[in-house]
Structure 1
Amino acid sequence: MSRGPSLQVRLLGLMFGVLAALWAATLALTLSDTRHELDELLDAHLAQSASLLLVQDADADEDVAAPDAPILHRYAPRVAFQVWRDGRLVLRSANAPALPFGPAARRDGFAFVDAPGARWRVFAAYDPARRRQVYVGERLDARGEILAAVLRGVSWPLALALPVLGLATWWTVRRGLAPLRRMGRTLAARRSDALDPVALDGMSAEMLPLAASLNGLLGRIADLLANERRFTADAAHELRTPVAAIRMQAQVAQAATDDATRAHALDGLLAGCDRAARLIDQLLTLARVESAQAPEMAGVELGGVTRGVMAELAPAALAKAQRLELDAQGTYVVRGNALLLAVLVRNLVDNAVRYAPPGAAIGVYLHREGDQVVLDVEDGGAGLADADLARLGERFYRVAGNGAAGSGLGWSIVRRIAAVHGARVAVRRSERLGGLAVAVTFG
C-alpha cells in the first residue's frame, strides 16, 4: 500500500507556500509604493529648487555670465541645474552641460532627458517677466540607488521575519495536530479485542465527526462479532441433540438383528438428518439476516411472493390433509428485498402447517389499511396461551407438548426480517379460524 504525504507535511507545505507568496507580494507592493513616493518627493525637490532659482538674485546683472556653482557635497554631482536668459546660459552647476538641458519646445514641466553618460529627470520652469529659463535635473541612477537602499532597509526585516514565521507556523501546525497523534497512539495501544467506543470528552469540534464515525464502526464490528459468537454458540448447542439422535439411531441400526428394527432405526436416522439440515438452514438464514450489511431494496409485489411460497408448501399441507387458502385480490407492492420477504412468508406459513393439526384450515390474507399493506397468516389450530405468546420470538423457544419438528428459530427470523423492512409484527387469536393469527404490517 503506497503511503501518501503526512497531513502535517501537506499543511506545512501549504502554509509555507502562502507565506512565501505573501512575502513576495509584500515586497513587490513595497517596491512599487516606495518608488512612487520617492519619485513624488524628489520631483517636488526639483520643482522647489527651480522655484528658488527663478526668484533668487532678482537685481543681479544677468548680462554677465556668472561662474559655475561649486560642488560642495559628494552627492552633488547627481543633481545639476542651468539658468538661461534670452537663450544665454547665465548660471549652471559644474556638472551641467553647456547646452540646454530640456527640449527647446518645452519650457515648463517634467521630462526625461538623455545626456552624455547618464539619463536625467529634468524639471523646467520659465519666468516670462524676466525671460529666465531654469532647468533642474537629477540622475535617474541616483534615484535607483536611493530606492535600492530603502528596499534593503525594508527587506532585511522581512527576510528575517520569514524563517521566524515559518518556525511559528511549524510549531502551530504540530501543536494543532497533537490531538490526532494522541488518538493514533491511543488506538495503537489498544488490545486487538477492545471494541469499546473512543472517549469524546474534551475532543475538538473538528475531530468529533471522525471519532463518532470510528465509534460507529467499532460498534458495527462488535455487533458482527457478537452475532458470530452467538451463531457459534447456538449451532453448538442445538446441533448437539440431532447429532446425538443420529448417532443413537445409527447404533440401533448397527445392532439390529431383524429387518424391521433396522428399517425403523434407518427411518429415525433420516428424520434426524432432516432435522439437522433444517436447523442448519435456519441458523444460516438468521445469521444472514442479522448481518450488518443492509440488503438491496426495491419494489416487490408481495402477492406474487406469497403465491410462490404457498405453492412450495402445498405438498406438506396436503400430506396433513390441511386446507390452504390465499386471499390476495389486487396488487400489493412494498419496498423490500424479495428473497428476505420470501423467507418471512415461508416461515409464517411453514409454522402454521407444522403446528396446526391435521385437517385444519390455514388462511393467508393480503389487504390494505390506508397506505399500509397487511399480511395475515391464520390457522385453525389450538392457538397459544398468554404465557407462550409472551415468549414467542425467543431463540430456540418451542411450545411444550407439541410434537412437531422445529428449531425454535422461525419467529426470530420473522421478527428480524420485519425489522429490516420497517414492518410491525402482531400476534393474536384468529377470529376467523380460531387458532393463531399473525399480522405483518408494511409501510
Structure 2
Amino acid sequence: MSQPATTLWFSLRHRLLGLLLGGVAAAWLVTMVFSYIDAHHEVDELFDAQLSQAAQTLLALASHDEGDDIEDLGDASHKYQRRLRFQIWRADGRLLMRSKNAPETPLTDAIGFSETQGDDGHWRHFSQWNEDRSLQVQVSENHHIRDELIGHIAWRLLLPALFGLPLIGLWVWLATRQGFAPLDGIARQIASRDPQQLQPVQPSTAPEEIRTLLEALNGLFQRVEHTLEAERRFTADAAHELRTPLAALQAQLQVAQRARDSDERDRSMSQLQSGLTRAAHLVDQMLHLARLDPESGLPNPQAVDLPELAEEVCADLGPQILEKNIDFDFTASPACQVTGQAEWLRVLIRNLVDNAVRYTPEAGQVRVNITRSEAQITLSVSDSGPGIPPEERESVLRRFHRLNQGSQPGSGLGLAIVARIAELHGATLKLDASNMPKGLLVTIQFPGR
C-alpha cells in the first residue's frame, strides 16, 4: 500500500514577512541603483562644467597678463585644492603658468575632456585654446573627488534602508500577528469543541479572505451531522424492525418445541422457515442500505449494459414469476449503456422487479422496458398490483415505510434503496399509476453515455 502524502507545513506569517520585506528591499535597492546612477551622471556633469569654466577663466586672465617666466602658485590651502591642478602653455610649447602640484610636462595631449590613469591616480582633464590659439589651458581634477562625493550620496541613500528595513519588518510582524489573531481564535474555538458539537462556526469577527474556508468547514459539519443523524435513525429503525421478526421467530420456535404431533411440528417449522427467510431478506436489505448511505459518489464507475443486466436479474427471478403464473414481458432498445456501478444497478433492478412480482396477484402482469431517447435512457417497471396512492408515493421512498397492503411481507427498504442508487447515478426516480387497470409504474431516467 502506498503511504499517504505528508503535509508540508509552512508559516504564513513568516512567508508574508519575507515577501513584504523582500519586495520593499528590492524596490529600495532598485531605487538606490537608479538614484546612484543619476547622481553619478549629475556629479560628472557638474564637475565637468566647473572644469570648463575654470579653464575659460584662466585663459581670460592669462591673455591679459603674459610674462616670460613660469609662474608657480603657492601651496593649496583647501584639501580639495591638492586634487586640482592646471597648466597654461604658449603656442611655442613653453609653460607659462602652473599650479603647485602640476608637473612641467603637459597634463594631456587631447583637446576637450579626457581621462588618464597612472601612478599619480585617476585624473579628469579639460584642455582648451584661446581664440587666436596663442595660449592653451589644461585643467585636471582627481577623480577621487567625484568618487568620494558619490560615495557620500550612496551612503546617504543606504543609511535609511539600514535603519528602515528592520523597523518595517517589526511593523509587518506586529501587523500580521494582529491580522492573524482572528484565525487563532477560530482555531481555539474549534479545538475546544466536543465531538458532538457540530453547529456552524460563527466567530464575532473574521477576515473576508477566510469566508470560503469557514463556509466549506460549516458545510462539512452539516454533512457530518446529517450523516450521524442518519446513522442514529438507521440504528433505531433497524432495532425496531428487527425486534418484530425476532420475536416472531422465538414464538414459532416455542410452538415447534411444544408440538404434540409431527403435523403441528411441521407447520411450525414451515412458519419458522418463512420467518427466517423474511428476516434474512430484511438484514440483506439493511446491509445494502448501510453500504449505500456513506457513499458520496460512485465507486469505480464503468460502462454498464443495462438491458443485459436487467435480463440477468429477470432470469434470476424466473421461479417466482412462474410460481405466480405472471404475464411477464421484457423489452429493451439496443445500445442502452449507462455509466455506473454494475452491482448497485443490479440491486436497483432486482428490488424493482421483485417488488412488482411480490405485489402482483396471480395471473397478473409485469412489464419491464428499457428505451433510449436522445441523451436519456429510461428504465420502467409496471405491474397490475394494488399500486400506491398518490399521497403515499413520497413517503414510500423513506426507509422502513410500509403500506398496509395485505399479507405481503416486506422490509420497507426496497424503494429507499432504489432511490439512493438512482441518486448516486444521477438518475431521476418517478412513481406513477400503471397504464393497466391498476398498479404501479416506476420510471428511472439515466443520463446516457
Query: Equivalent residues in 2 for 1:159-174 (5 A)?
Result: 159-174=162-177
* 8 Å Cα contact 2:70-2:96 kept in structure 1: yes
- Residue 414 of structure 2 is matched in structure 1 by 410
Of residues 122, 137, 158, the one that matches 1:155 is 158
Question: How far did 1:54 drift?
Answer: 1.0
Deviations 1:148-176 (A, max 9, x none): 22322332222111111112222232233
Please give the residue correspondences for 1:29-178 in structure 2 after superposition, counting only pairs within 5 Å. 29-85=34-90, 86-103=92-109, 106=110, 108-178=111-181
* Equivalent residue number for residue 366 of structure 1: 370
CA drift at 1:333:
2.8
User: What is the distance in 1 between the residues matched to 2:30 and 2:390?
Assistant: 84
Give 1:308 deviation, angstroms: 1.2
Q: Deviations over 1:315-372 (max 9, x none)?
A: 1222223232212243323344332222221111101111112222222123345544
1:324 paired to 2:334 = no
Instruction: Structure 2: state its 5+ residue gaps.
Output: 1-5
Native 8 Å contact 2:396 2:412 kept in 1: no
How high is the sequence identity, in percent, across the aligned residues? Answer: 39
Question: SS where residue 207 of structure 1 aligns?
Answer: helix
1:398 paired residue number: 402
Partner residue, 2:16: 11
Residue 349 of structure 2: aligned partner: 345
Which whole-Å CA distance do the structure 1 matches of 2:233 and 2:66 have between them? 122
Question: 1:386 Cα shift?
Answer: 4.9
Shift of 1:81: 0.7
Cα separation, 2, equivalents of 1:259 and 1:102: 141
Structure-2 residue corresponding to 1:375 = 379
Equivalence for 2:30:
25
The equivalent of 1:240 in structure 2 is 243
Residue 366 of structure 2 contacts residue 381 of structure 2 at CA under 8 Å; is this kept in 1? yes
The answer to whether the Cα contact below 8 Å between 1:392 and 1:411 also exists between their aligned partners in 2 is yes
1:162/1:250 CA distance change after superposition, 3 Å: same
RMSD over aligned Cα atoms = 2.5
Q: Do residues 302 (structure 1) and 284 (structure 2) align?
A: no
The amino acid that maps onto 1:39 is D
Contact 2:182–2:205, Cα closer than 8 Å, also in 1: no
3-state SS, counterpart of residue 68 of structure 2:
coil
Alpha-carbon distance change, 369 to 147 in structure 1, aligned in 2, over 3 angstroms:
closer
Q: Could you say if the C-alpha distance between residues 157 and 436 of structure 1 is closer, same or farther in structure 2, counting changes exceeding 3 Å?
A: closer
Whether 2:210 is the aligned partner of 1:207: answer: yes
Q: Cα offset for 1:297?
A: 4.0
Q: How far is 1:257 from its partner? A: 4.4
Question: Structure 2-normalised TM-score?
Answer: 0.89
Q: 2:272 aligns to what?
A: 269
Per mean C-alpha deviation after superposition, the further-off stretch among 10-19 and 390-399 is: 390-399
Does the aligned pair in 1 maintain the 2:72–2:100 contact within 8 Å? Answer: no
Task: Report the 3-state secondary structure (helix = DSSP H, G, I; strand = E; otherwise coil) of the residue aligned with 2:366.
Answer: strand
- The correspondence of residues 214-229 of structure 1 with structure 2, limited to 5 A, is 214-229=217-232
